């Protein structure tokens, strides 16, 4: 079982923060999106375009279930993973940190570019819509909420580690 699971929208810093938290804790870091890309040998964007969102979500569902059962360190989930009805129950009983972020910081961090399939058309409006849909789920599954707005990765990681009861 993971030491901590990070959830949040694109641009919240799940990968960067997850890597930093793992380093502070001396444990492994696992990013489910990166694992899917490695297993498939192509980007998530390509999977969406070539196979469709349902095919990607099936791959994601399987990888998330595997990671939550097998990974012992820090696990970062893709932005849409917690919304899957099969995934939410798997998060029960785990320490889940919702990395919250506003549109301004998310846009600066990821540029809201077209490499993110669900943000390809009108990226800012799409991000705001997705966040509106996903926020209630992120909040429901979260043990802790950490606001990442205007903060460094190191600062956010230190807060996460402190919330886990381990001095940073």
User: How many domains are contained in the chain?
Assistant: 1
Segment 151-161 mean pLDDT? 96
Domain-embedded: residue 127: yes
Encode pLDDT of 109-145 as tens digits. Answer: 555 444 445 445 556 677 678 888 888 999 999 999 9
Q: What CATH number did the domain enclosing 103 receive?
A: 3.40.50.300
Q: Which residue matches tokens 């966040």? A: 131
Encode pLDDT of 58-115 as tens digits. Answer: 999 999 999 999 999 999 999 899 999 999 999 999 999 999 986 656 556 555 444 4
Domain-embedded: residue 8: yes
Strands laid side by side in the 4-7 sheet: 29-31, 74-76, 4-7, 96-100, 144-147
Asked if 27 and 74 touch (Cβ cutoff 8 Å), the reply is yes
- SS3 readout for 26-57: CCCEEEHHHHHHHHHCCCHHHHHHHHCHHHHH
By residue range, what is the domain housing residue 117? 4-163
Query: How many residues does this entry show for the chain?
Result: 168
Long-range CB pairs of 61-64 (<8 Å, 24+ gap) are 61/86, 61/87, 63/32, 63/35, 63/36, 63/39, 64/32, 64/90
User: Lowest-pLDDT range, 31-40, 75-84, 119-128, 159-168?
Assistant: 119-128
**Is 0.75 topped by the overall pTM?**
yes
pLDDT on residue 10: 78
pLDDT on residue 113: 47
Domain-embedded: residue 168: no
pLDDT on residue 129: 81
């Amino acid at each position: 079982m993971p030491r901590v699971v990070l959830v949040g929208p694109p641009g919240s810093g799940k990968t960067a923060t997850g890597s930093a938290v793992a380093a502070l804790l001396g444990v492994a870091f696992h990013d489910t999106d990166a694992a899917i890309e490695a297993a498939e040998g192509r980007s998530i964007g390509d999977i969406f375009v070539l196979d469709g969102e349902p095919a990607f979500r099936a791959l994601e569902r399987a990888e998330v279930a595997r990671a939550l059962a097998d990974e012992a360190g820090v696990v970062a989930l893709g932005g849409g993973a917690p919304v899957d009805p099969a995934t939410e129950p798997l998060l029960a009983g785990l320490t889940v940190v919702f990395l919250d972020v506003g549109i301004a910081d998310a846009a600066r961090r990821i540029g809201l570019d077209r490499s993110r399939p669900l943000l390809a058309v009108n990226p800012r409006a799409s991000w705001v819509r997705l966040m509106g849909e996903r926020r209630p789920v992120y909040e429901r599954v979260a043990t802790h909420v950490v606001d990442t707005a205007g903060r460094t990765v190191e600062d956010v990681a230190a807060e996460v580690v402190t919330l886990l009861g381990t001095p940073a």
